[in-house]
Amino acid sequence: MPAQTRPNADGGEPGSPVSPGSSGSVRSPLAVTRRRLLATAVGLGATSAGALVAARLLSSSSGPTSSGDLPLSRPSAPVGGVTVGPSMPAGAVAGLPGNLLTIYGAPGTFGNLDDRSAIEIAGVPGWGFGPGQAAFLSAVAADGTVFLATTPFTDDQAKLTGTGMEIEIFEPAAERFTRLVIPSTKGRTSLPRADPNYHGVGGGDISDVIVVPGPDGTERVVFVSLMPFFGWNTSIDGELPSIGQLRRDSPGGRWAYDRTASRTAAQLAGTAPPHVAALAFPVLAPLEPRSPRGPSSIARLPRSGHLVIAQYLGTGVGGTDNGALLVVDLAGRVRAHWQYPQVRPLGLELVVNPREVVADPTSEPDDERFVLISDVRGLDFRAQPFPVQEFSYSASRGTISPRSTAVRAVQDGSRMESAVFGADGTLYVARTKADGLRAETLAVYPKIDGERGLVTRAPATGNWPVDTWGIANRPDYLVAGTDRGGLVRSITLDPATGAVLLAGLDGLVQVVRPAGRGTRMTFRTDRPIDVGLSRLRGPATRYVGVRRGAVDARRRSLWLPVNQLLLDGLPWPYPPFKLDQWLLRVNLDVLLGDG
């Protein structure tokens, strides 16, 4: 990683990075976390008059007007405004129909949900995450098995709270839970940091997980880790994978870790030309392994089957703080790498950390499209509105190319939060208000005449990192009634009906039903449903929330991880311990009124 971290025994900020062997602290990309970006106010807090003007242009709704200012996008071609009104009264929340929700977890851990008959309680013997591990993102296999990535109780991969790296496996048909601990290259499953001030904390996170077809016709589970190293002796304890795979140990057998198909950063670097290896997997400090630069998200490209990965972090001290994009094949060979350039809209330098990649299922060969949502901050470490950007990957040329500049839906401080593609290439982007906590209306960019408005209205031409980065590209549609709850933690799509499924920070689940295509789309927004997170909450120092779900269309299920975090209730670092975690099943037939 870019620098070692230390507890705040000296009165500094917890986790402030310190260069090995030095007495002073050095600011690292890890010093800015996703939680911090969500918590800070929008705007750059500029000190000079010129910077203040630039900050207003980047964050306000007034926008530039003169020819020398940041250019505005043209009005969107089809509708360019809010669609038909919501199908429920403002602020309404639907009651819970029977058979809609089932929550799984360890017996006796459901709080006040036990007395609520509308939510079915399913205590699973043997259910239990490891110390310091919380439920994170999910994926589902064709046989219905659900896989759960894990994150620290701090909700910050730079501040680990566990002892190892693990992925959780739930087989609903058998109600069987498996805690699968990922071993290091030396076979170690417990990897505490050597410094005793960290109280045994170590291991790594799993920042994303997907299910993909394998070369032998069976499915593979692929995961990435933003933080696969946390200060142990790698010559003794080995390394954890940056990209890992699971497969069944026999036909119809159990899911198991496939060490031969998993790769450390050093192993990935060995498949790339030296200049690419040095940039994509740098050595950041003596006696530390190569850094994978914080893999935060992974998506499978539909034509080549290659995997595009967002690298959240920069290259360390003396390099860039901007992240990058990486493409590998299923065998773990590097196919392409693209470094995010320096961004200076209006001369104001920003830092771009790629956070989420989503692939377009309608992509053409050698033009496989995907979109990137990035976290953005100023040099003062305050958050800027997060943009979305479209890219193309050519497998034959081994290149990643930006097709659009990075855009915002509206210049009002709102943030592009998470995205999903429809089967016809329509892009749905969940947005967050400027406070980073409440949902903003859903943005929709349909595919019209083979291209989305992201590209036709804001192409990546000329010196786009300076001239057009961060411009407003108004969506073709803003879906009314989708701004009711907390920021959207999960946006998924039911392939059987095309319905978009939103789940918010506060446990509100909402359905958006699109109809039509291109310039003739309409939307119906169903009344939100409260899944009852408040009844799971324990002490006020803990936080309970949902994370990215996975749809099992065959079994008509939406699986939503429900995690419990500690956040700021206890000064970090602290000795690893356990907190209850859950998994929520939403019956799609009931939710969508199909059964």
- pLDDT confidence of residue 537: 72
Query: What's the confidence (pLDDT) of residue 45?
Result: 24
What is the amino acid identity at position 61? S
CB atoms within 10 A of CB 10: 9
If you average pLDDT over residues 383-411, what whole number do you get?
97
Give how far Cα 241 sits from Cα of 164, 290, 340, 351, 418, Å: 12, 11, 24, 27, 26
What is the identity of the amino acid at 371?
V
Query: What is the model's pTM?
Result: 0.88
Secondary structure letter of residue 84 according to DSSP: S
pLDDT at 162 over 80: yes
Place of tokens 């500690």: 566
Banded pLDDT at 52 (limits 50, 70, 90): very low
- pLDDT at residue number 94: 67
CA dihedral 246, 251, 252, 256 (to 10 degrees): -20
Residue in the block written with tokens 């009906």: 497
Show the 3-state SS of 243-310.
EEEEEECCCCCCEEECHHHCECHHHHHCCCCHHHHHHHCCCCCCCCCCCCCCEEEEEECCCCCCEEEE
Rounded Cα distance, 473 and 406, in Å:
9
Q: What is the model's pLDDT at position 83?
A: 39
Whole-angstrom Cα distance, residue 588 to residue 102? 12
Q: Which of 558, 505, 500, 508 is nearest to 529 (CA)?
A: 508
Report how far residue 528's alpha carbon sits from residue 485's, in angstroms, rounded to the nearest whole number. 9
Tokens 């939510």, located at residue: 119
- What per-residue confidence (pLDDT) applies to 93? 65
pLDDT computed for residue 92 by the predictor: 57
Q: d(Cα 102, Cα 131) in Å, to the nearest integer?
A: 25
**Better-scored residue on pLDDT, 54 or 148:** 148
- The larger pLDDT score, comparing residue 12 to residue 260, is at 260
Average the pLDDT over each of 50-54, 396-400, 404-408, 544-548 and give the range with the smallest value: 50-54
Render pLDDT for 301-339 as a digit per residue (tens, 0 to 9): 999 999 999 999 999 888 999 999 999 999 999 999 999
What's the whole-number mean pLDDT along residues 235-259?
95
pLDDT score for 584: 97
* DSSP 8-class letter at 467: H
Residue 141: left (phi > 0), alpha (psi -120 to 50), or beta? beta
Q: pLDDT confidence of 364, banded at 50, 70, 90?
A: very high
pLDDT at 26 over 90: no
pLDDT band of residue 506 (cuts 50, 70, 90) is confident
How many Å is the maximal CA-CA distance in the chain?
A: 67
Region 70-76 average pLDDT = 30
Q: Mean pLDDT throughout 507-519?
A: 95
Over residues 231-237, mean pLDDT: 95
Among residues of the chain, what percentage have pLDDT more than 90? 74
